[in-house]
Structure 1
Amino acid sequence: MLKAFHFPRSLWVVFAGTFVNRFGGFAIEFLVFYMLARGYTVVQTGAAASAYGIGSIGAAALGGYLADRLGRRNTIVLSMFSSAATMLALSQVTPLPLIVALVALAGLTTELYRPASSALIADLVGTQQRVSAFAFYRLSINLGVTAGAAVAGVIASRSFFLLFVGDASTSVVFGLLALFALPAHTSKYTIQQHKDHAPGGSIWSDYGFLLFLLAGTVLAFVYLQQLSTLAIQVKALGLSSAVYGLLISLNGLAVVFLELPISSITQRFSKQRMIAVGFLLIALGFGLTGVASTVPLLAFTVILWTLGEMVQGPIAAAYVADLSPAHLRGRYQGASGMTWSIGLILAPLLGTILYSWNPTLFWPLCGLLAGMAAVLVLLIKRRAQPSPLQPVQLRSEEGDPSLPTTSPHPS
């Protein structure tokens, strides 16, 4: 297992920068409390909060394009510095239209780095290490969010302005790390991959990947019910909001402590099949939510769909990296991320409508949809897997040419 974590230095920079950025990325999470405290109505607050999701959709598309055109490092730097400026501006404005516009811009700038980071991870390691690398990347995000939320609550009780300053500061830290510690160019391994592909090509001509995007969007709609209709279901059972908070924290704790060991096992099997297994576990977990009438039963359903998340999450990111030509890798990662942005908009909107229509049938419907997504993944025609070549060292732009390279052998 240790061999699986023998990553290049640049990858640890990405992990560290991501942790710092997510640790301080709490201004938007507390936006609702911030606006309500300043006298805005619930409807106005909701409109402003939804603008972030709209911006994140644009970030997935534009971030992928910039990652391929400007480079991974430059896109991350642009994202972090522009995000910092946006957060500081957002802390100073009061007219509602300006707040909505800046929240949308925050969604664009803050999330712009994600496709570039994912593409850089795929650049720096070979196929046999990608699952482990993406699992570590997800751990950096989850640890940052978990630790940051606790600190943000204390800061918010004293000053909302400090939340925005803290958010901007951590973005600047990641931007500086990227500027001075990440390679200006991709690895020779990636350059060779680029030569092995035709200079043309497009996501729209990759029908297998388009099918995967459809499956991912459906899965995101189901999985993100945890942020809306699950809370309604808990309340309908006569349980408190504290119970809902405990259920969500159960998910976070499990991911932090269990995803890496689980990934070390799942990476040994077919990526397509493991993604389908993860989707099916999510289908089972949400499908059984409607019959879970006690806290232990609800906790059991959370464990099921959390297990599904841990099985498919890192593998899905690695699978997208394997599917993509090197010169389109950023756009492939951006398109994959867009499925979650779309899900973030559709899940609360369409989910609450369907739940209100028939709460009894809603959860089996979620299970059916996620199960269908699993079938779609299995229907994708398998491609010849790229050879598990060892990535060679980066060019001198990264620094020390004697840094160890990744192992070509599986863990």
Structure 2
Amino acid sequence: MVDLETMPPEQQTLRQGIRSLPRPVWILCAGSFVNRFGSFVAVFLVLYLREEGYSIAEAGLVVSCYGAGNVLAAGAGGWLADRLGRRNTIVLSMFSAAATLILLSQAEALALIVVLTTLAGLTSEMYRPASSALLADLVPAGQRVPAFALNRLAINAGFAAGPATAGFLADRSFTYLFVGDALTSAVFGLIALVALPEGVRTRRGEERRGEAIRTIARDRAFLFFLVSSVLSAFVYFQAQTTFPIHLRESGFSNSDYGLLISLNGLAIVFLELPFTSITQRFPAIPVLMVGSLLVGLGFALNAVATTLFAFAITVMIWTAGEMVYAPVAAAYVADLAPQRLQGRYQGAWGVTWGLAFMLGPGIGAAVLASSAEGLWILCGVLGVAAAVLLLGARPRPDPGSSR
């Protein structure tokens, strides 16, 4: 019998790499599945606001505030993951998110919705840097692509069922979305509290003030990656903001949108591991470039799609880009980061997605209001730009890294 734990990583297949992962990785993935299944509010927030009578511009503003919360969450979550501990940060994030979502469900005034949506963006996403850092703690460099691929499989298995369920609930009462999201957040918090290890934790005095910022600022490859990530994420987040508005204005229902987004999740559940078994054999940067180009192309083709089948094709194209890009990107960041700064490197990457979520809805809605075709062409251009920027993200040769 082959001993998977002693087999060199480069000789393992993806399936063998996944089978050799430690038990806490599987527990973390189970918690991620539960949480992602119940992430109803972020997906349907713009439709909820339109249903409540807010304009496209107001809905874009509120969703941008969720993105602002994401920016704060990435920075704060990364810092807390290194200082408070990975597990403790996940617990704090999930329990506070549950409380915030219940409060948001009862808010009526726009100003209060803006404040609570910002808090929801902060608390719901603060766990992400800690979760990624914990995976990096549990799995050594060179074996992380299978770990992140498994975590994404769990997340997207939840996402495959979640939007369809959310669409069903939203057609009856949007309140059910907030309650369900809060409950699943609390369940993930309990799983983390009871079953996850603390992970690496930097003690006070173990690093000089400002060391993390200086290290990241000097990491040229990582900086190019971060700028590219902002552009790719800007395009990707149109799926949750302008894409559903475009569908509704094209005569499609909430359920149609839920089914299209579930198609994304189902494709990832069944196809991402086969994709990753191929992409893990290649250097990270070319793989990331192909992923960025496919995401841009998929959204660009919305300019000519008119039927539900045509929109399903566009979703599958940008989903293919996501499947190529995401597992390799997560492992790239983990391998690039010093161990004591894992949380903050993951947090810095999360900041780029938060910035895109903050800027994307407002800019996207403004362009959509002027020209739907113009928005989707812009997405294609940004996909190309993101790929070109990745040429500067090649890390310096490191004999201790597999990439």
Fold conserved (TM > 0.5)? yes
Unaligned runs of 5+ in 1: 390-409
Offset of residue 8 of structure 1: 0.8
Residue type matched to 1:285 in 2?
G
Aligned to 2:31: 17
1:208 alignment counterpart: 221
1:127–1:386: 8 Å Cα contact kept in structure 2?
Answer: no
Count of residues in correspondence between the two structures: 382
In 2, the alpha carbon distance for the partners of 1:283 and 1:112 equals 27
The one of 285, 309, 319 aligned to 2:322: 309
* Pairing of 1:11-410 with structure 2 (within 5 A): 11-31=25-45, 41-42=54-55, 47-153=61-167, 155=169, 163-186=177-200, 201-230=214-243, 240-241=252-253, 246-292=259-305, 297-355=310-368, 362-385=375-398, 387=400
Q: Which segments of 5 or more consecutive residues in structure 2 lack a partner in the other structure?
A: 1-13
Correspondence for 1:399: none
Query: Which amino acid is the alignment partner of residue 273 of structure 2?
Result: L
Structure 1 residues 165-212: Cα deviation after superposition (integer angstroms, max 9, x where no partner): 43333222222221221112439xx99xx99xxx76432222221111
| Cα separation, 1, equivalents of 2:48 and 2:305 | 35
Identity of matched residues, %:
53
**How far off is 1:23 after superposition?**
2.1
Structure 1 residue 126, shift from structure 2 partner: 2.0
Farther-moved stretch of structure 1 (39-48 vs 113-122): 39-48
Shift in Å, 1:228: 4.4
- 8 Å Cα contact 2:77/2:343 also seen in 1: yes
Query: Secondary structure of 1:128's match?
Result: coil
Tell me by how many angstroms 1:292 deviates.
4.8
Name the CA shift for 1:300/1:321 in 2 (closer, same or farther; >3 Å).
same
Partner Cα separation in structure 2 for residue 286 and residue 85 of structure 1: 35
Look up the equivalent residue of 2:68 and give its one-letter code. I
Residue 197 of structure 2 aligns to a residue in which SS?
coil
Give the TM-score taking structure 2 as reference length.
0.82
CA change 1:300–1:102 in 2 (3 A) is: closer
Rg larger for: 1
* d(CA) in 2 for partners of 1:299, 1:111: 28
- TM-score, structure 1 normalization: 0.80
C-alpha displacement of 1:64: 0.8
Task: State whether residues 34 and 184 of structure 2, in contact with CA within 8 Å, keep that contact through their aligned partners in structure 1.
Answer: yes
Q: Check the 8 A contact 2:66/2:358 in 1, yes or no.
A: no
In 1, Cα distance between the equivalents of 2:67 and 2:326? 20
